[in-house]
Amino acid sequence: MSDGVFDAEVAATYDVDHGGTDPALVAATVDVLTDLAQGGAALEFAIGTGRIALPLAAKGVPVSGIELSSAMVAEMRKKPGGAEISVVIGDMCEARSEGTFTLVFLVFNTIDNLTTQDAQVACFQSAAEHLEAGGRFVIETQIPPLQRLPFGETHVTFAHDPDHWGVDEFDISTQAYSSHHVWMKDGKTQHLSVPFRYTWPSELDLMARLAGMTLEHRWADWDRAPFTKDSTKHVSVWRKL
């Protein structure tokens, strides 16, 4: 099975180049997930390099994972505790982890890595199949930044640091977009483009309903701030009926 975009070269620098490792952010995320697991086991879709899974396991939550990229899992295995976490290598829409869980979670905009609506629907179905009755599925993802697009424009700059430029390219007719990264390191330039599909909260709610889940919470962030029209992302929690 191919590691796709997240090959060994990307995996080796993923934590540094793609962010999300701020200690306060990680701690807030883990605190919420610990509460939602309610003493049961958790399954992380797209477990990656263990950014969230490892500190969650350190808090006493039994954690398993599903991950398409073996290179990302290899990076997790190098970290303290990484060898102890059970991971199935495969597509989170189809792969099956043994047992059932009180919590399944998919964070850091990763639902967008599924580039078709059918795949995103299948992801919700997979989550529901892994969950015990009353269990929860959690997604953290962005609100599509289309308000920043002038009419007829297709590109939005999201990073312009001295060593990193990032531009999102949108097709609003298909909800497809690509994130284009350019890093300048040691006088050399490295380029990476990653395809995505953005979703709206209401669309995700419908996917949840199709999978037999209902919305329980929607927050603006991991501090559980109220979700409003000005929110730029959301943390949504659906409960299996």
Largest CA distance in the chain: 55
Q: What is the pLDDT of residues 68-114, one digit of tens each?
A: 999 999 999 999 999 999 999 999 999 999 999 999 999 999 999 99
Beta-bridge mates of residue 215: 238
- Superfamily designation of domain 8-144+199-240: Vaccinia Virus protein VP39 (3.40.50.150)
φ/ψ of 76, rounded to 5, equals: -65, -40
Q: What is the pLDDT of residues 13-49, one digit of tens each?
A: 889 887 778 999 999 999 999 999 999 999 999 999 9
> Is the CB of residue 87 less than 8 Å from the CB of residue 68?
no
Residue 171, token pair as written in the block? 């097709």
| E strand or H helix at 136 | strand 131-142
Rg, C-alpha atoms of the chain: 17
User: Could you say which of 1.20.1070, 3.40.50, 2.20.25, 3.40.1350 is the CATH number of the domain covering 146-194?
Assistant: 2.20.25
C-alpha 155 chain-centroid distance: 22
φ/ψ of 196, rounded to 5, equals: -145, 175
Q: What is the pLDDT of residues 126-185, one digit of tens each?
A: 999 999 999 999 999 999 999 999 999 999 999 999 999 999 999 999 999 999 999 998
Domain boundaries, the chain: 8-144+199-240, 146-194
- What is the layout of strands, in order, in the sheet containing 176-185? 155-161, 164-171, 176-185, 188-197
What pTM was estimated for this model as a whole? Answer: 0.95
Average pLDDT over residues 195-211: 98
Residue 41's nearest CA partner among 81, 97, 94 is: 97
